[in-house]
Amino acid sequence: MRITLAQVDSTLGDIDANVEHAAGIIARAVQHGSDLIVFPELHLSGYSVGEVEADLALHTGDKRLQWLAKQAEDAGVVLAFPEAGPGGMHTYNSAAYYQAGQLLHVHRKLYLPNYLSFEERKHFTPGQSMRAFDTSAGSRAAIMVCNDAWQPQLAFLATQDGAQILVMPVTSAQSAFPERYDSQGYWRGITRFYGRMFQLFVVFVNRVGIEGGLRFWGGSHVIDPWGNVVHEAPENEEHLLTVDIDLSDVRRRRRDIPLVKEARLGLVHREIRRLLDEGGDL
C-alpha cells in the first residue's frame, strides 16, 4: 500500500485557497501512484477558527470536498475541516475519508483541548464514536485527530475493531514553555508506543507554518508494527512524503508476539461498568 503524507501549511479562514493548494498536492500524489493521501488536522480552514468571523464549517457533501475527492481518482484521501452538524447547533473538528470520490467514513474529534491557545472546546462539539473501517485498498483503518492520540483507550478500541493503520491528522505546535513540554519528543514517544503495543502502522501527519503565536513543526512520519520510525519528513517545511507499507507485516507481528489477541473485553467491560457506577465519568 502506498501512502502520501501531505505535510502542508494552511491559510487561516481561506477555504478556497486551501482547497486549491490541496488539489495540487493530490495531483502530485496521484502521479506517484498513492493509494491513500492524508492531510493534517483542519488543513482546509486553518486551526484558529475562533479568530475568524465567518462561519468556516462545511457539510461532508460540500461541492469543494467532493471535487477534491474526485481529484484523488481511485485513491483514498483524508480531508480535515470544521464539519457543520445537523440543525446548525454543532460544529465538529472532523477528518473525513473519501474513497474513489465517495464519502466512506467521518471521524469527529473526541477529546478537545481547552487550555492556553487551544480553545477547541469553545468552538467544537466532541464526537461520540470510535470506529475502524474498511477501505477499498484492502486495509482496515481508524482515524485519531491530534489530541485523541493522547487517550490510549481509543487506540485500544480501534485495534480491537480490527485496525491495521492508525491515521493521525495533527496540528502540533511547539509551546512557549519547551523546558516542560517537548512537542516533537512527546509525539514520537506516543506514535512509537502505539506501533509497538498495538502492532500496527501509525501514519502521523502534522502541519507546518505559523499561525498567530503557534509554530507548527511538521515532522510527519510512519511507524511500523515493531514501533520503528521507518520514514520521516523534515521539520518546518512543506513536504510530500510517499511511503510504501506491507500490511502483511501487521498480521505477521501479531502472530509472532500476540499482544493484542486476548483483549479480555468482558473484563474491561465489567471494570468500566463498576467505575461508571461509582461515578467515575464526567
pLDDT at 137: 79
Q: Which pLDDT does position 176 carry in this prediction?
A: 52
C-alpha cell at 34: 498513492
Domain boundaries, the chain: 2-277
Distance CA 46, CA 26 (A): 18
Name the β-bridge partners of 217. Answer: 208
pLDDT < 50 regions, the chain: none
User: How high is the pLDDT of residue 179?
Assistant: 58
| Cα separation values, 165 from 47, 168, 205, 227, 275, Å | 25, 10, 13, 13, 30
Determine the pLDDT at residue 161. Answer: 98
Q: What is the pLDDT of residues 12-28, one digit of tens each?
A: 999 999 999 999 999 99
- Quote the pLDDT of residue 167: 98
pTM over 0.85, yes/no: yes
Predicted local confidence at residue 182, as pLDDT? 83
Summarised one tens digit per residue, pLDDT across range 112-167 is 998 766 789 999 999 999 999 999 778 999 999 999 999 999 999 999 999 999 99
- CATH fold of the domain at 2-277: Nitrilase/N-carbamoyl-D-aminoacid amidohydrolase (3.60.110)
Side-chain half-sphere of 100: how many Cα atoms within 13 Å? 4
